[in-house]
Structure 1
């Protein structure tokens, strides 16, 4: 008997998690994309207080009004997006926001452009919806940034949506304002929905972040608290879109999770309204780590681009599998770039979401095999 549904028969489990499971207990894990920082104390205190005050019951399907209103203020201030609390849905992390959006808006006949290289969930979520993921290829020559030319050369007559991620996993690229605006205009002209994953928005170095939804109503903004506030395990994300899109996404969200954890919504409200020094301090530390890793790779003669955001370095290797296996023997865990698409062939992703001291040790170990 075949138990699996046909639509999930060729869904791939995460190669990142596979590498994590192969590692020894003493290995330095540069595979997992999770900040190593503790959730800031004022956020944890807000969570504890919420539990003590009885926030253990259902919230509205879309989420607590106060948090949604706080997100509306944040979107206006940080992203130049004008919206309302009714047009925001709180989700179980950015992952559920992506899943609910794709399954609410995409039909089996549709094509969805996904970044290549890009976060491995994009392809699989589109496939779960029964739709066709179409690789939106980017190149090292252009810093792995998605351009209007890339979109125009990839779009098909069946393209319903495109998923774009800036700052990007796995490359750390950050799209410039002119490309954001140009792609937004193209999407409007061609009735294509932009699903914009902005989860790394706050982890950005020498550039500025821009949102598609500031330039078009034909966009869904996906964000959350996992990366900026080191709240990965608390699973709070959100999406913002026009009312027509929100009405459809709410159907999937409601029958999938009903609502997200109520107490963590109180903590998320505190994250946005409380002290923000924790965010800038973490980003400053990530900058130091990025420079350590990139400079160390340069010293080894390894080719890579200094990333402008997120906490990954995507570096070239003639034989990634061999290098990764040698690194494992040195107790360093890495991920093959081909996990992120065809354009990741010949690359390796390194996450510098580890302490500076661990990164120093890891780079010393990698220098032995470079």
Structure 2
């Protein structure tokens, strides 16, 4: 048999999918990181109109249509307080491709990538695929990433560090002071900060801030997507924002791997970003109500849970055997170790599901908690 690359051998299929399959088809799924709301109607209509007009039949520019990049540029001005010209943006196939090309363009074999643990599963895997060395950093007790811990982890071999706020799997939101510190670290150590901001609009307490606001140089790359904010996970539309030289290098990876993002998705994303934002506000309000419902239930069970201030995940500390018991009873949750070694003893619960289902799941989790104690 032909030998496989060492990079691929270092990566396994995500264990999260195995959890879904083990629970069965009738299970209540609290493991999925996907909003249960429809894509906004004006975004879907824009894609349909583009298809019917023949505008979506051909490749777009490698970077994406100018109109989409102008909409993303305007969004950063409106929502984030910093300027990114359209030429400094690349539309990608979701936030996943954006992370992939950011790491491929900046990491040499053996170089280190520092990232939060527990953290999004792709950080470690994409570091391996880029030939880099993963360097996980444990979180604070409140599950936020400590700038001091990141700075202590940086060596002469560090190519980049990753910041994710609001965070998957924890729901943690970094403070403005933290983001200022991450920007300072990037500048003083001349190391790349990759800021994963896919959940930026799903914030309940505090506010989302980006290190791009505070950086004095080009040492920040912002990764974002329409997936969570506009419930467009299936459309696969994200982007990267960065300086001229960094965008040019990432474009070299993107154009050979992907050519361009899906044209219909680009038209939908342009409409989502530039059109009415009412549905976003309604969705966030619904998530906050569900968060509070879940937190009340976990508290009644005696499970210690750092309050998630954003995204749609909670990560309680759970007793041994709890995850297996919950899954056996028909509720999908994800063991914390799926997100890194420091996630052991935790479970990730997604409340991106209907309120009635969530209430039922809380009762089942309550029974499971009593069973394992």
The TM-score normalised by the length of structure 1 is: 0.97
Matches within 5 A, 1:103-114: 103-114=104-115
Give the corresponding residue for 2:188.
Answer: 189
* Contact 2:75–2:274, Cα closer than 8 Å, also in 1: no
CA–CA separation in structure 2 for the residues paired with 1:224 and 1:152: 27
Shift of 1:100: 0.7
CA–CA separation in structure 1 for the residues paired with 2:135 and 2:233: 29
Give the corresponding residue for 1:226.
Answer: 227
Give the corresponding residue for 2:336.
Answer: 337
Which secondary structure state, in structure 1, belongs to the residue aligned with residue 315 of structure 2? Answer: strand
Structure 2 segments unaligned to the other structure (5+ residues):
none
* Contact 1:303–1:316, Cα closer than 8 Å, also in 2: yes
> Is 1:121 aligned with 2:86?
no
Give the corresponding residue for 1:22.
Answer: 22
Give the corresponding residue for 1:86.
Answer: 87
> Is 1:36 aligned with 2:36?
yes
CA–CA separation in structure 2 for the residues paired with 1:79 and 1:41: 25
CA–CA separation in structure 2 for the residues paired with 1:37 and 1:53: 27
Which deviates more from structure 2 when the two are superposed, residues 197-206 or residues 150-159?
A: 150-159
Structure 1 segments unaligned to the other structure (5+ residues):
none
Give the corresponding residue for 1:62.
Answer: 63
Which secondary structure state, in structure 2, belongs to the residue aligned with residue 368 of structure 1? Answer: helix
1:174-206 C-alpha deviation (Å, 9 max, x unpaired): 011111111211210111100010000011111
Shift of 1:324: 1.7
Shift of 1:20: 1.3
Give the corresponding residue for 1:362.
Answer: 361
Which secondary structure state, in structure 2, belongs to the residue aligned with residue 316 of structure 1? Answer: coil
Which secondary structure state, in structure 1, belongs to the residue aligned with residue 368 of structure 2? Answer: coil
CA–CA separation in structure 2 for the residues paired with 1:275 and 1:198: 21
Give the corresponding residue for 2:270.
Answer: 269
Shift of 1:3: 4.3
* Contact 2:315–2:346, Cα closer than 8 Å, also in 1: yes
Give the corresponding residue for 2:204.
Answer: 205
* Contact 1:180–1:212, Cα closer than 8 Å, also in 2: yes
Q: Where does structure 1 differ by over 3 angstroms across 4 or more consecutive aligned residues?
A: none
CA–CA separation in structure 2 for the residues paired with 1:286 and 1:4: 43
* Matched residue count: 366
Shift of 1:107: 0.3
Which secondary structure state, in structure 2, belongs to the residue aligned with residue 164 of structure 1? Answer: strand
* Contact 1:17–1:32, Cα closer than 8 Å, also in 2: no
Matches within 5 A, 1:298-337: 298-319=299-320, 322-337=321-336
Matches within 5 A, 1:153-302: 153-216=152-215, 217-302=218-303
Shift of 1:139: 2.3
Which deviates more from structure 2 when the two are superposed, residues 35-44 or residues 222-231?
A: 35-44
Give the corresponding residue for 1:53.
Answer: 53
